[in-house]
Amino acid sequence: TKTKTKTSAFLSSTVVETFVITFLAEWGDRSQIATIGLAASEDPFGVTLGGVLGHAVCTGAAVLGGKHMATLVSERAVAITGGALFVLFGTHALVTGVEE
């Protein structure tokens, strides 16, 4: 039936995987801490709506940008570059130390 098709599309592996990755990556980050601070002093509905809309716009830009970038650069090149930058910044942090 149509309802089953819509439900299975909603719960597709892409949707579930994207939700889990986004949820875990965002949990406890600076924007969530800032949102907690806003919610303490502002209207919770407004904070929720603003947070959802802001995240939707950022995610939409990332999806569209990623889709476009995939036509220009291979996924392997992005992974290698990202890995190299991660090692470079990690090494820099180890050498220079963390400033408080």
What confidence tens digit (pLDDT) does each residue in 46-100 have?
999 999 999 999 999 999 998 998 899 998 998 999 999 999 999 998 998 866 6
Crossing angle for the helix pair 30-41 and 44-72, nearest 10 degrees?
Answer: 160
Is the pLDDT higher at 46 or at 12?
Answer: 46
Range of the domain at 34: 1-42
Q: Are residues 63 and 27 in the same domain?
A: no
Q: Are residues 100 and 63 in the same domain?
A: yes
Q: Are residues 62 and 96 in the same domain?
A: yes
Residue 78, in any domain of the structure: yes
Residue 47, in any domain of the structure: no
Residue 38, in any domain of the structure: yes
d(CA 38, CA 32): 10
Please tell me the total count of domains within the chain.
2
| pLDDT score for 1 | 65
| pLDDT score for 60 | 94
pLDDT in tens, 31-50: 889 999 999 999 999 999 99
